[in-house]
Structures are given as structure tokens and as C-alpha cells.
């Protein structure tokens, strides 16, 4: 006899958590039910873009505060007392509350504590005549994985609900010491291993650009809140693409640093403690609306990281100079950019090929600065890396996560049903073997970046790589496929960033034209092709979704990555403006 799923232990916990969350949205910030999108979304309803819906319910001042400022200009307005921290915190909290109602992006609204914190900051500035720190009053949000004292770090699991953290994560303490105001914690997927942010406790986070498509994961709620302008900077994490993929899905900038740059500790444990140091380590990083906002954020956090995180090393960071002062490894100081296309596991769908071609041409023909753009052959190491990465991520066997799910009889969410596996922890010998394979792949990748001259000296020949984040556009809900193009750079520990380029237009869809014939490269490729097969997927679902590229530099060159992505972004924006001017 089958038991009633409604009687499973997780059900009342989820209901209570959702009631608690709803109760923390003030009545005055509730929006009419007639404004809410239709669920479940259908192709006949269209994308139901809600990015600008909050403007209907905000004051002119709240709209200006949440839309008109960069990190630098907002901090300047607060420090000069043109804006108060309370006004800023209230405006962003109000917008975040509306974003939650429209997209289900929050797990823990922290509006009350944010306003209390803002009042303290205003009092400090008034009393001392100086700001509390360089980020005095900056409204930020954090992924649910980070501990905040007195708040659950449930990561969408009943097992971890109603167990508030007893201390802050080191990064949270660092950000508070700089003067930040934390608006909310944001939603994630069950197991943190999905690229579609849905769990049984809080439900599914929806993409505000196109409700038919995924919001990404595992930092989906973080990216959605930043896209909805309910937070100025989102603090996320990445091990397979969890910063970069949600940034791609929501048309934002995401920055995955190298290891040991930003404190990572003080988060929910999903494996036995210490496991990550035997396999592959996740990193924390920002999601923001511009490269400059990321640059400003990193310039204050990175130099201070070693005082807060035992997992960090000393690293300076200076704000990027004007692009004309950035010298690359070309013979005349040109930036040498390599275009790396398919990883050998998946065929690129036409919109991805097209956007890579456009970026390559824009850089090659740039009049603002000189680039040397080279097409790179796919290294075997990039093809092989996804398999090694998958094995290293599973060395613990998923035992702890499995226990947390099964103890409360939670169902596995759709995307994970065929992917979540449990088994025995790998032996030390097997882990060592996988790490040896990793080292061999890392060595092979070195040949991309430099060449040995006739005297045996290494010469830099490549400054950055531009490649896809995925072989497909932002896919329908549950449709995200291969992660090798993002997870590989975690295996190599390369700093990597997402740069949005433009949105999908009808011409990109090539309606009625099938994908060019070719050998199916892998099981991942087979699933990817279904996203273009008009008998399986209505390609109109992609209209208006963002097209982005991934910018990659060598391990440890995080500051350089920020400079290069800034230059690339500047050139691409200029090209878009030139195209608009011709229309």
C-alpha cells in the first residue's frame, strides 16, 4: 500500500516555512493578485516578463534609488548624506518584496533587520562624521547557503529548517565590517547540484525575463533578485557554474574567482566536513549589474580576505585603469583573445555560434583599442575535464545529502531524478588517481597560454579566452543540459566571468531550418539537440532571453580577468550602439 505523500514529514515544515516567509513581507508591500503571472507558465501566455512590474508599486524616489545608481555613486550619495541608509534599505527591501511575489526568489526576507542595521549606520555617520566602512549602507543579498546568525540556513531541505545559525559565515562578517546591509537570503535548488532553482520547501524561482525558461542554479534566486533590482550586489557560490549560469539566464555579470580569494567557510554542509579539500573546491563570488560594480566590490573584499577566511591568501586588487592603459601580450600591446568553441562534447546550437561570431568580429574590428583574435582548437583537456570533474564531485558518495532528503521523505525534484546518485565514498587511492588525472589536464591546458621560445623561455601568447557558457541558449524550465563548459574551469581553477551581449531575436531562431547534420558527440549532445528540434521544443521560447559569453583567464589572474572583461564589455556595448544608430 502506497503511503500518502501529503503525510510525509517535510510537508508541514514546508508549509510553515512558507507562512513564515510570507509574514515577513509587510501588508503595505503586498501587490494585487491580478498583477501576478500565470502559473504554470505556458507558451500561449508568452514570456510574462516582470522586470519592470515593481515600478508600478514604488514611489518615484524608490525607483530612482533602486535603478539610477551604481555601487560607487550610491555609496557617494549615502556618505554625503544626499541619501540615508534607511531610505536606501527601505527602497531595496520594498523592491525585493515585490520581486519575491513575482518570482519566488527569496528564502529568508531580512527586511526588518536590514532597516535596523541602516538606522545604526545613519546614527554612526551622524555621530562620527565618517562612514562605518567603505560599503557603508550598500544593499546586498546572499545565497541561502551562507550562515547568518539567528537565521536558518536550510538550503531548501526540511532536515535543516528551524535550526538557525549560531554565528555568521566569515564572508558575512567581512561584508558587515565594510558597512553592508543584507536585504535577504535567496533561493537555491535541492542538493545545490541543479541548474534550475527549485526545492520542496520554497518552490521554484522563476526567470523574470521569460517565465518559460530557467532562472538557472544553483544561485538562481540571487541572480533573479539582482535582475529585479532588489539588491545591488548578490553574493553567490560556484562549483559547476552556479554563479555564471544564473548570471547568463538573467542577463547579468557573474564573477567566479580562483580558489583562496574570497572566504568560503560558514556555509551549509552538504558533504562530510573537509571533503571539498580532497576533491574540488567551490568558491564564492559576486553577481552584479556591471563589470565596474564587480570591480569595486572585489577591490574592497579581496585585500581583506585573509583577516577573515582561513582559506584565503594575500592578494592585492586595484580598480581597473582606463582600457587604453591595459597592455596585452601582442607584439604592440594588443590583447590576444582566443575563441574557444565546442568542448568536443556538444554541438553548438545556432544562436551560440552566431553570438561567438559576432563577438569575434566586434573585437577584431574594434576602433577603440587593438585586439588579436585567434580561433583555438579544442584541447583534449577541455573535452575530458567534464568526466573527471563529475567523478571528483562525487567522491563522498552523496551520503549526507541522501540522508537529509530521505529522513524527511522528500521527493527528488525533476531535474535531479535521473542525476542524483548515492554510493560509497571513494577510496584514498581512487581520489589520488582522479587528482593525478586532473593534474595532467591542467598541464595540458598550460600550452594554450604560453609557448617556449628558441632559448627555452616561456612567452605569454594568450591573454584571455572567450567561449560559450553552454552549447544552447537559456533553456526551458528543466531543460538545462551539459555543464562541462562551466565546470571545467572550476577543475582548472581558472577565474571566469559571464558577460551579457544581447538578447535572442527572431532571426536567431532559424525557424523551419533543422540543425545541420553531424555526428552526435555524446549523450549530452543528444539532449542538447532536442532543445533545437522543433518537434520537441518550440524555438520561440528563446525570444528575448539573454545571450552571453564566458571570459576566462589563467589561475590566479582574477584582477586581470576583471580588466579584460571590462574592455570586452565596453567594445561589445559600443558595437551594439553602432548597430542601433544604423537602424
- Catalytic residue IDs: 143, 218, 242
- Ligand-binding annotation for 75, yes or no, is no
Q: What is the dihedral of CA 33, 37, 39, 43, to 10 degrees?
A: 150
Is 326 known to sit in a ligand binding site?
no
By 3-state DSSP, what share of the chain in percent is helix, strand and coil, each rounded to 5?
A: 40, 15, 45
Is 364 known to sit in a ligand binding site?
A: no
CA 393 to chain centre: 19
**DSSP secondary structure letters along 176-209:** HHTT-EEEEEE---GGG--SS-EETTTEEPPPSS
- 561 a known binding residue? no
Is 192 annotated in some ligand binding site? yes
Cross-strand partners of 204: 198
The answer to whether 13 touches 199, Cβ cutoff 8 Å, is: no
Tell me which residue of 384, 374, 389, 286 sits closest to 330, measured CA to CA: 374
Exposure pattern of 478-492 as b/e (b: 16+ CB <10 Å)? ebbbbbbbbbbbbbb
Report the phi/psi class of residue 88: left, alpha or beta, with left for phi > 0 and alpha for psi in -120 to 50: alpha
Q: Which residues pair with 287 in a beta bridge?
A: 234, 254
β-pairing verdict for 464-467 and 335-340: parallel
Q: How many angstroms separate the CA atoms of 263 and 284, rounded?
A: 7
Residue 242 annotated as lining a ligand binding site: yes
Cβ–Cβ < 8 Å for 245, 480: yes
Q: Known binding site: residues? A: 192, 218, 239-242
Q: Known binding site for substrate: residues? A: 192, 218, 239-242
Amino acid at each position: 500500500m502506497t503511503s500518502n505523500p501529503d503525510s510525509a514529514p517535510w510537508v508541514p515544515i514546508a508549509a510553515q516555512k512558507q507562512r513564515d516567509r510570507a509574514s515577513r513581507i509587510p501588508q503595505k508591500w503586498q501587490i494585487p493578485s491580478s498583477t501576478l503571472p500565470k502559473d504554470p507558465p505556458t507558451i500561449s501566455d508568452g514570456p510574462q516578463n516582470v522586470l519592470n512590474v515593481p515600478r508600478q508599486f514604488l514611489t518615484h524616489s524608490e525607483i530612482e534609488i533602486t535603478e539610477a545608481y551604481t555601487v560607487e555613486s550610491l555609496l557617494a550619495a549615502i556618505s554625503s548624506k544626499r541619501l540615508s541608509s534607511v531610505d536606501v534599505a527601505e527602497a531595496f527591501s520594498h523592491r525585493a518584496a515585490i520581486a519575491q511575489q513575482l518570482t519566488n526568489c527569496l528564502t529568508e526576507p531580512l527586511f526588518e533587520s536590514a532597516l535596523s542595521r541602516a538606522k545604526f549606520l545613519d546614527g554612526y555617520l551622524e555621530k562620527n562624521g565618517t562612514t562605518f566602512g567603505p560599503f557603508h549602507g550598500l544593499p546586498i543579498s546572499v545565497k541561502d547557503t551562507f550562515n547568518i546568525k539567528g537565521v536558518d540556513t536550510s538550503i531548501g531541505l526540511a532536515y535543516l529548517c528551524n535550526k538557525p545559525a549560531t554565528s555568521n559565515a566569515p564572508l558575512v562578517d567581512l561584508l558587515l565590517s565594510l558597512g553592508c546591509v543584507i536585504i535577504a537570503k535567496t533561493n537555491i535548488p535541492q542538493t545545490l547540484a541543479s541548474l534550475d532553482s527549485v526545492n520542496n520547501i520554497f518552490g521554484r524561482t522563476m526567470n523574470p525575463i521569460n517565465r518559460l525558461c530557467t532562472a538557472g542554479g544553483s544561485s538562481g534566486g540571487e541572480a533573479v533578485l539582482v535582475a529585479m533590482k532588489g539588491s545591488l550586489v548578490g553574493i553567490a557560490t560556484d562549483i559547476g557554474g552556479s554563479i555564471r549560469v544564473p548570471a547568463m539566464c538573467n542577463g547579468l555579470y557573474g564573477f567566479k574567482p580562483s580558489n583562496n580569494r574570497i572566504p568560503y567557510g560558514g556555509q551549509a554542509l552538504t558533504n562530510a566536513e573537509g571533503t571539498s579539500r580532497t576533491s574540488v573546491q567551490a568558491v564564492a563570488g559576486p553577481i552584479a549589474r556591471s563589470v565596474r560594480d564587480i570591480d569595486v566590490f572585489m577591490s574592497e573584499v579581496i585585500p581583506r580576505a585573509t583577516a577573515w577566511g582561513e582559506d584565503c591568501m594575500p592578494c592585492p586588487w586595484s580598480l581597473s585603469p582606463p582600457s587604453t592603459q591595459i597592455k596585452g601580450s601582442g607584439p604592440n600591446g594588443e590583447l590576444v583573445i582566443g575563441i574557444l568553441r565546442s568542448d568536443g562534447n556538444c554541438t553548438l546550437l545556432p544562436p551560440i555560434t552566431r553570438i561567438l561570431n559576432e563577438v569575434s568580429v566586434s573585437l577584431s574590428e574594434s576602433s577603440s583599442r587593438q585586439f588579436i583574435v585567434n580561433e583555438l582548437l579544442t584541447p583534449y583537456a577541455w573535452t575530458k575535464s567534464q568526466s573527471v570533474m563529475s567523478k571528483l564531485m562525487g567522491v563522498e558518495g552523496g551520503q549526507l545529502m541522501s540522508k537529509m532528503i530521505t529522513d524527511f521523505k522528500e521527493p527528488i525534484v525533476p531535474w535531479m531524478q535521473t542525476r542524483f546518485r548515492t554510493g560509497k565514498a571513494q577510496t584514498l587511492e581512487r581520489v589520488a588517481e582522479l587528482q593525478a588525472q586532473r593534474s595532467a589536464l591542467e598541464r595540458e591546458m598550460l600550452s594554450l597560454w604560453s609557448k617556449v621560445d628558441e632559448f627555452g623561455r616561456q612567452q605569454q601568447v594568450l591573454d584571455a579566452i572567450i567561449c560559450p557558457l553552454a552549447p544552447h541558449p537559456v533553456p526551458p524550465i528543466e531543460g538545462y543540459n551539459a555543464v562541462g563548459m562551466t565546470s571545467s574551469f572550476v577543475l582548472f581553477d581558472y577565474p571566469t566571468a559571464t558577460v551579457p551581449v544581447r538578447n535572442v531575436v527572431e532571426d536567431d531562431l532559424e525557424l523551419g531550418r533543422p540543425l545541420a547534420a553531424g555526428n552526435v558527440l555524446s549523450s549530452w549532445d543528444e539532449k542538447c539537440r532536442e532543445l533545437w528540434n522543433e518537434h520537441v521544443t518550440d524555438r520561440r521560447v528563446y525570444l528575448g532571453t539573454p545571450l552571453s559569453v564566458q571570459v576566462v583567464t589563467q589561475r590566479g589572474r582574477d584582477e586581470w580577468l576583471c580588466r579584460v572583461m571590462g574592455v570586452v564589455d565596453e567594445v561589445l556595448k559600443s558595437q551594439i550602439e553602432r548597430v542601433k544608430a544604423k537602424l
